[in-house]
Structure 1
């Protein structure tokens, strides 16, 4: 499998956004922030950003023969035991970093005095999957005013139109390159599209869009027409959070960690990984998520992307047991694994 890394030989300067990154030497500082709401022209396709080929006809035929999209009866039996402990949102100030897991890849992030939603999905059901197996961890009417939304990519379990319709249309949205039109068609007025390694600022907090090993598709005709990635949020006081979105394991994590050192918390996907021959390029398994956290140099990890929607064949509780075992095997402090139940919160003062 050919890896397209967008990287030249050793160098200490970067080129165009989303383009080559240095292999050695110090990484350049983050680029100057882009203007909020800037209208931009993007390439027609982002296929050149793929780090693995999309499944071809042979892979699709194999999946039709032997693939599984749901666990067996034994794997589903633990649904009643999935951790769900909703509680009130913590009280915070501008110096507090706090996260509340609403389920799947949806977090209520409090950073730099802002309330930020990541990939908000408050719907009970999304296209093509059974209904969620744990309720949303935070009632919509319990949310404080939402200061910003970040979107990792356009798959239905990360970009949910019914949820986004609940937001005021002047809510600032940070979106991948090529996805702004989707929001503007829905009358959102403050949409900032970013390429990889670009950032923008809102009320002193920096939002940087970073690479991921994934892809995008929402209709039959828009494969890789918009970009995909994760987000690094940096508060004015330097507190730093990484939201991975949806990603497989690979070379980007160490590069993100070098460009954005001192990540206090990494929100990492650990589910939807079985069968591996089908999903390994685009979804981390629990052991890879722990390794990615080490590559990032992040101090803490909070697992996500499990225990909410049944998207693949692993038993529903397996991601949690495996990530705990991998964390212990790596010799990491147990208190730095924030394996939250849906609805629970943690605060970093």
Structure 2
């Protein structure tokens, strides 16, 4: 494998790439605020100015600016994994139920397809989140995809949270572009130039944080902040916006966290949007914690954020499908099962392919 190809793949997954993000000491950076002028703010914090945008053209987290370090990457990769032998012997895998046909129209559903990918039907509208379904040289699935993509029809929206390769896969999106040319793509600012060549027939809407998308259906989807970062290649750090989604119908609300480190933004989202009925919280890719915590919450911190948000049902994700970090594949779920009080006994055990709505 060519060195450049390897680094490009690594750049889209781990929280600090093999190249540092350099800034000249003489260059003074200022921060302004931006948004999509075509989209509304239906709910926003009282003092909201917009999505932070640095004068070098890159986006910035609300409370914890991202920085990358070559030293920390090497310290992690060369330092060894204390669970390495345990991982070699580990055979525990996610439970998967095959989907042999979609339920009748009108029945709400929340079906986990693995990692951060869901099939959601709410109020008669069908959504897909972060579809990464095909193995490639960077990612290998450890849980089977429960559905044949060719079964998918009448999907209204494809939600892409950010540009990292375990959330935004070129091959999967090209496939969906041929199967679902009428599905609209909802994503963050500056993502269109990346996505449109893969989805030439699909309309794309970009939103800043706390902006709601222009939808025809009686559904509200709002792009909300996370503590994370973006990079697809070697020289495009934070040039595309990252975030999560808050989805509301007449009688249900879903919070899709995407990737995030712990921070004040969880409380800000809840204060602004309300407490979610179903919180899909990332819990994996968290070890070593000294390295991962700025961009991926541990199951412990995910539980803390869930309690702060006042969520009703805790739905863990972002574990078990891809091996991206030092912990065992199902270690986050094992911790949650062993500590039910940490999520107020509201854990919905994630079975891939099963409707998780209760």
Q: In the alignment, does 2:119 pair up with 1:108?
A: yes
Secondary structure in structure 1 of the residue aligned to 2:303: helix
Secondary structure in structure 1 of the residue aligned to 2:212: strand
Q: Tell me what 1:26 maps to.
A: none
CA shift for structure 1 position 80: 4.8
CA shift for structure 1 position 188: 4.0
Q: Is the 8 A contact 1:212 1:229 kept in 2?
A: yes
Q: Tell me what 2:357 maps to.
A: 347
Q: Structure 1 length as normaliser, TM-score?
A: 0.81
Q: Tell me what 1:55 maps to.
A: 68
Secondary structure in structure 2 of the residue aligned to 1:107: strand
> More displaced, 45-54 or 315-324?
45-54
Q: Tell me what 1:145 maps to.
A: 154
Q: Tell me what 2:164 maps to.
A: 155
CA shift for structure 1 position 135: 1.0
Q: Tell me what 1:36 maps to.
A: none
Q: Tell me what 1:196 maps to.
A: 209
CA shift for structure 1 position 89: 6.0
Q: In the alignment, does 2:131 pair up with 1:98?
A: no
Query: Superposition RMSD on alpha carbons, in Å?
Result: 2.7
The CA deviation string for residues 263-283 of structure 1, in whole angstroms up to 9 with x for no partner, is 110111111111111101111
1:144–1:73 Cα change, 3 Å: farther
Q: Tell me what 1:85 maps to.
A: 97
CA shift for structure 1 position 340: 1.4
Q: Tell me what 2:142 maps to.
A: 133
The CA deviation string for residues 251-306 of structure 1, in whole angstroms up to 9 with x for no partner, is 11111111111411011111111111110111111111111111221110111111
CA distance in structure 2 between the partners assigned to 1:64 and 1:74 by the alignment: 17
Q: In the alignment, does 2:229 pair up with 1:211?
A: no
Q: Is the 8 A contact 1:198 1:209 kept in 2?
A: yes
Q: Structure 2 length as normaliser, TM-score?
A: 0.80
Q: Tell me what 2:248 maps to.
A: 234
CA distance in structure 1 between the partners assigned to 2:174 and 2:256 by the alignment: 23
1:165–1:50 Cα change, 3 Å: farther
CA distance in structure 2 between the partners assigned to 1:302 and 1:200 by the alignment: 24
Q: Is the 8 A contact 2:61 2:226 kept in 1?
A: no
Q: Tell me what 2:311 maps to.
A: 298
CA shift for structure 1 position 57: 3.2
CA distance in structure 2 between the partners assigned to 1:48 and 1:263 by the alignment: 22
Map 1:232-271 → 2, pairs under 5 A: 232-235=246-249, 237-271=250-284
> More displaced, 188-197 or 114-123?
188-197
1:166–1:48 Cα change, 3 Å: same
Q: List alignment gaps of at least 5 residues for structure 1.
A: 21-41
Q: Is the 8 A contact 1:67 1:275 kept in 2?
A: no
Q: Is the 8 A contact 2:284 2:299 kept in 1?
A: yes
